[in-house]
Amino acid sequence: MKPNLEVKIGKLKLKNPVMNASGIFGFGRGFAKIENPSKLGAIISKTITLKPKKGNPLPWIVKVEGGLLNSIGLANEGIEKFVKETLPQYLKFGPPIIVSIAGDTIEDYAQLTEILDKTKGVSGIEINTSCPNIHGGNLPFGSDPKIVKPLVSEVRRRTKLPLIVKLTPNVGKIEPLAKVAEKAGADALSLINTLLGLTIDVETRKPRLGGITGGISGPAIKPHGLLRVWQVFKAVNIPIIGLGGISNYKDALEYIIAGATALGIGTANYFNPKATDEILEGINHYLLKNEIKNIYELKGTLKVDDEN
């Protein structure tokens, strides 16, 4: 008998816990690069804003040891074009569509939410509070509980759709942010976003990215991602979407054991178009091998003899 891989994010039911991380496939066209997007538990869009954004100066992405450093700066086509042209392309793949949103003000987020709440085919909303490559380092919302609370509360007031809050790892303690988001109405949390970083061309002595600083993603950040998921799992009672450096099924299992309900696969897709398929197959095989009937039996089972 096959293990049950179904998970819930609020009232949203997913056939399995594996999804893409926001931004990794652009606006749907990049999905052709992976083997079978229809197998994903859900699809998360690139972050959308009210108006189109050009993003940061080029170059946007450079390879670094252990992953990538990107400084795209939320370049996107804007909500109008997304709803009219891109969302229908996403819907062709089959899995539920979760739309990631960002704004310069709380009202921006609220307006985006109202539009999406009325848009057929949208199954959930992810509030991106934590992009590390704009505004000199962070969206202004993600690092202060006093701002996270009214932001999430206002978005929650505008929709009954499942609401996910993406938190920044670029803070000292993440638990206060997680607790405030939960109390304000979040159905789930997504973490971690990329870590802030810099890379330099030693010949020119200039930053290698057009935006100077950027967000580090890939295997190098997995230990930090696992730590944050484990910390937040102990602090809240809502599901966590774990992401950050997941390259294979063992990485994915580590996140589940640390407390994640679902998983976002990002940078791995740049290097291996079959990554999501292989991760899903590996999780299934592990559960069968260990006679685990339901994936929830594995969630949050990290064994720590002496927690301080």
For the chain, list the domains and their CATH numbers.
Answer: 7-55+74-198+212-297 (3.20.20.70)
Section 17-46 average pLDDT = 78
Instruction: Report the C-alpha gap between 242 and 265 in whole angstroms.
Output: 9
Phi, psi of 35 (to 5 degrees): -65, -50
Interval 107-118: pLDDT, tens: 999 999 999 999
**Pick from 71-75, 90-94, 194-198: least confident:** 71-75
- At 29, the pLDDT band (50, 70, 90 cuts) reads low
The structure tokens listed for 193 are: 């976003």
Report CA-CA distances (Å) from 21 to 63, 99, 101, 252, 307: 18, 11, 13, 13, 31
pLDDT surpassing 50 at residue 58: yes
The structure tokens listed for 243 are: 């992401």
Catalytic residue (choose from 5, 131, 226, 232): 131
Residue type, 146: K
pLDDT surpassing 90 at residue 44: yes
DSSP-derived secondary structure letter, 125: E
Give the predicted TM-score (pTM) of the model: 0.94
- At 135, the pLDDT band (50, 70, 90 cuts) reads very low
Give the strand pairing for 200-201 and 97-101.
unpaired
* Letter string b/e over residues 228-257, b meaning 16 or more CB atoms within 10 A of that residue's CB: bbbbbbebbebbbbbbbbbbebebbbbbbb
Q: In what order do the strands lie in the sheet with 97-101?
A: 18-20, 262-265, 240-243, 188-191, 163-166, 122-128, 97-101, 43-44
- Which residues have a Cβ under 8 Å from the Cβ of 305 and sit 6 or more positions away? none
C-beta separation of 262 from 9 below 8 A: yes
pLDDT for position 125: 98
Residue 131 appears among annotated catalytic residues: yes
